[in-house]
Amino acid sequence: MAMTGAQALWEALVREGVTDVFGYPGGAILPAYDAMLGYPIHHVLVRHEQGATHMADGYARASGKVGVAIATSGPGATNMVTGIATAMLDSSPIVCITGQVGSKLIGSDAFQETDITGITLPITKHNYLVTRAEDVAGAIREAFAVAASGRPGPVLVDITKDAQTGSCEVDWDATVPQLMETRDDAMPGDGTAAEALALINAAERPLILAGHGVMLSGAEREILALAEKARIPIAVTLLGIGGVPASHPLNLGMMGMHGEAWVNTAIQEADLLLALGMRFDDRVTGNLRTYALNAKKIHVDIDRAELNKNVRVDVAIAKDLRVAIAEWLPGLAPNARAAWHAHIDELKGDSAVRDIQNLPDNGHLYAAHVINDLWRLTDGNAVVVTDVGQHQMWEAQYYKHDTPRSLVTSGGLGTMGFALPAAIGAKMACPEKEVWVVVGDGGFQMTMCELATAVQEGLDLNICIVNNGYLGMVRQWQEFFYDKRYAATPITGPDFVKLADAFGIFGRAVDRRSDVEDAVQAARRHHGVSLIDFRVEQEDSVYPMVPAGADLHKMIRRPSPIVETAAD
Ligand SMILES: Cc1cc2nc3c(=O)[nH]c(=O)nc-3n(C[C@H](O)[C@H](O)[C@H](O)COP(=O)(O)OP(=O)(O)OC[C@H]3O[C@@H](n4cnc5c(N)ncnc54)[C@H](O)[C@@H]3O)c2cc1C
Ligand SMILES: Cc1ncc(C[n+]2csc(CCOP(=O)(O)OP(=O)(O)O)c2C)c(N)n1
Ligand SMILES: [Mg+2]
């Protein structure tokens, strides 16, 4: 049956199981929007195309499905760039569809023409410029396969206006994607299960470094089987949070720049690191020249390019993590490793970093209290979507995630403005879940226009603004490393409660610890969007901290018991 390229686009999306797309129309994508009305796909009208990409990304991270964003050519497409890069850095599968000027106009500086495939080449897993109607369906189906397979990531499909309006016959059997794995034999990754087992079984002080790949490969059960059978403690990356339950006795907590001091010390003292689905980001390793010098290292990653990239390892295995661990389990020797666990318990005992929770209410509202109360009041069951900054680190430290995909956060690109739109995507993907946005006063102001999107969609969404009147994470660096010269970090904002009112949503401001619980419960009871403006201590800092590039074990610790601030 003949159809237009625009119809082939939606038909292909329906066949991929897509039910929701996030987008914004314009001239070059109008034929596609017109055809959309004939298909059972819900379109979420965003307020800025960056929001569409973060929504698709949040949708993907919360559900494991591929998220879809759609925009017009030129400014619509370029507005997507930040969201695409965000998804790329964190291996999140999204498909972005853009309209393009007519194929005959390409290269003529036509109205709203940008070379979006050129622009996004380094920040997509793959991209396509489709100029003929008959190529639309195949490109879309391949885009989904590329986005979701192997190491997930963003794919962009740019479709010219004439490819949308042109007519085609689609042989759907012929559009089944045929992906071929190209392999460079010079790349590392051919380590064997036997080599890994020899190191694991001989280790006295092994430590698992569990990353985002645990959830991307669905290896949550396997990693626990490995840890429990061989009694190996686990440290998680920021993006690995939730892959191993926080309450599991073998889970020591987060590693890295703002990780737990005992975790970083254990890494430096370990005799074996098992890096599983993580990529040794510099926020994780600190100074590479002094990183885990006592440890042999096993690295499993589905992407060969990650192996021996930042950290040279003894056994490099390019494989899906779930498959790799399953191969190890039968040959794994049970081992209590009592001395190692006793030592780690000692390291933990020495750390006062979480003592803030035990302090009596001294009249100050600390962000850590707010997050910890949020965890307690939601029974740890919420999907929390954070922005970037101090509040993001406090969330990682004080909200204990026991379930996979319950923390959605921008790690690699660290994109301020991510949280609200990503949470909209997460809520669309998981309508039955309680979703909380944890966002700074700075980042919220970057994409707060998406409040209107959440309202138009009738979403039940909760927003916790950690309002410290600063671009707090940058202020903290200025405090520690620039002599408290606060250049361009004090930031004002609107009256967020009045803003909530203007959007027709529930709003409340809290500046006392004793009011936190009531406000959180009121927001939870409210059906619709709720916003709480938590006016927290202005100059609090995130501890502990490894200064950028410093040795992992040389952390700045919280001055005891708590820093009193300039605002006191
Ligand atoms: C302000 C700020 C502070 C930060 N501080 C910290 C910190 O203190 N600690 C910290 O950990 N992070 C921190 N980060 C985050 C950090 O920048 C990285 O994003 C994070 O460490 C990456 O975690 P990851 O390697 O597990 O995930 P990713 O970067 O997503 O990497 C996942 C890896 O898994 C692999 N993979 C994917 N699928 C599979 C599969 N099926 N099988 C096997 N492998 C697979 C991928 O190829 C990739 O190499 C911070 C970020 C910000 C913005
Ligand atoms: C788009 C973007 N611009 C700049 C930065 C650099 N940056 C990282 S954290 C931060 C401060 C964030 O302030 P806020 O949103 O108020 O959160 P807080 O740190 O105060 O919790 C800035 C400016 C960034 N990560 N992203
Ligand atoms: Mg702030």
The rounded distance, in Å, linking the Cα atoms of 91 and 89 is 6
Q: Answer yes or no: is the C-beta of 411 below 6 A from any ligand 2 atom.
A: no
User: What is the C-alpha to C-alpha distance for residues 407 and 391, in angstroms, rounded to an integer?
Assistant: 13
Q: 525-564: per-residue pLDDT in tens?
A: 999 999 999 999 999 999 999 999 999 999 998 776 554 3
Residue 431's CB is within 10 A of a number of other CB atoms, namely 10
The DSSP secondary structure of 265-286, one letter per residue, reads HHHHH-SEEEEES----HHHHS
| Ligand 1 binding pocket includes 151 (Cβ within 6 Å) | yes
The alpha carbon of residue 472 and the mean position of all alpha carbons in its chain are separated, in whole angstroms, by 20
Q: How far, in Å, from the CA of 465 to the mean position of ligand 2? A: 13
172 pLDDT exceeds 60?
A: yes
186: pLDDT confidence band, cut at 50, 70 and 90? confident
- At 568 the pLDDT is 29
Neighbours of 547 (CB within 10 A): 15
Q: In a mutational test of the pocket of ligand 1, which residue from 216, 353, 405, 475 has the highest number of ligand atoms less than 8 Å from its CB?
A: 216
Look up residue 503 and give its two tokens: 């959007």
Residue minimizing CA distance to atom 8 of ligand 2? 389
Q: Give the separation between CA 81 and CA 110, rounded to whole angstroms.
A: 20
440 touches ligand 2 (CB under 6 Å): yes
Contacts of 302 (CB under 8 A, 6+ apart): 150, 151, 213, 217, 277, 318, 319, 320, 321
Mean pLDDT for the stretch of residues 420-436: 98
Distance 82 CA to ligand 2 centre (A): 15
Pocket test for ligand 2, best of 53, 416, 418 (most atoms within 8 A of CB): 416
459 alpha-carbon distance from chain centroid: 21
Does position 311 have pLDDT exceeding 50, yes or no?
Answer: yes
- Mean pLDDT, the chain, rounded, equals 95
The number of residues making up the chain comes to 568
Tokens of 350: 């020495």
Interval 94-135: pLDDT, tens: 999 999 999 999 999 999 999 999 999 999 999 999 999 999
pLDDT mean over 187-195: 96
Residue 355: pLDDT band (50, 70, 90) is low
For residue 174, pLDDT beyond 80: yes
Does the annotation count 112 as an active-site position? yes
Per-residue pLDDT band for 350 (boundaries 50, 70, 90) equals low
Could you tell me if the CB of 412 is within 6 A of ligand 1?
A: yes
Among 161, 296, 297, 427, the active-site one is: 161
Cα Rg, the chain, nearest whole Å:
24
Phi (first) and psi of residue 421, to 5 degrees: -65, -40
What is the mean predicted confidence (pLDDT) over 385-412? 98
What letter does residue 545 receive in the DSSP assignment? B
The whole-angstrom separation of Cα 16 and Cα 341 is: 47
357 is catalytic: no
**414 C-alpha to center of ligand 3: Å?**
15
Which residue minimizes the CA distance to atom 12 of ligand 1?
Answer: 238
**Amino acid 254: pLDDT:** 98
8-state DSSP, 296 = E
**pLDDT for residue 361 is more than 90:** no
Question: Catalytic pick from 16, 112, 309, 327?
Answer: 112
pTM beyond 0.95: the answer is: yes
* E-strand stretches of 296-379: 296-300, 315-317
Give residue 558's pLDDT.
79
Q: Is 416 in the pocket of ligand 2 (CB under 6 A)?
A: yes
Contact 535, 367 (CB under 8 A): no
The 3-state secondary structure of 361-399 reads CCCCCCHHHHHHHHHHHCCCCCEEEECCCHHHHHHHHHC
Q: What's the pLDDT at 492?
A: 98
- Is 554 a catalytic site residue? no
Q: How far apart are the CA of 289 and the centre of ligand 3, in A?
A: 33
Query: How far, in Å, is the centroid of ligand 2 from the Cα of 489?
Result: 9
Which percentage of the chain shows pLDDT scores above 70?
97
pLDDT digits (tens, 9 = 90+) for 216-267: 999 999 999 999 999 999 999 999 999 999 999 999 999 999 999 999 999 9
Nearest CA to ligand 1 atom 49: 279
What are 21-64's pLDDT values in tens digits? 999 999 999 999 999 999 999 999 999 999 999 999 999 999 99
Q: Which amino acid does the sequence have at 94?
A: I
Confidence of residue 373 (pLDDT cuts 50, 70, 90): very high
Q: What is the pLDDT of residue 563?
A: 47
**What is the pLDDT, as a whole number, of residue 362?**
78
Residue nearest to atom 5 of ligand 2 (CA): 416
Per-residue confidence (pLDDT) for residue 358, from 0 to 100? 66
Q: Cα angle at 267 between 475 and 150, to 5 degrees?
A: 85
Nearest ligand by distance to the CA of 326: 1
CA 90 to ligand 1 center in whole angstroms: 7
C-alpha torsion angle, residues 284, 287, 288, 292 (rounded to 10): -70
- Ligand 2, residue 387: give the atom nearest the CA: 15
Q: Which amino acid is at 148?
A: A
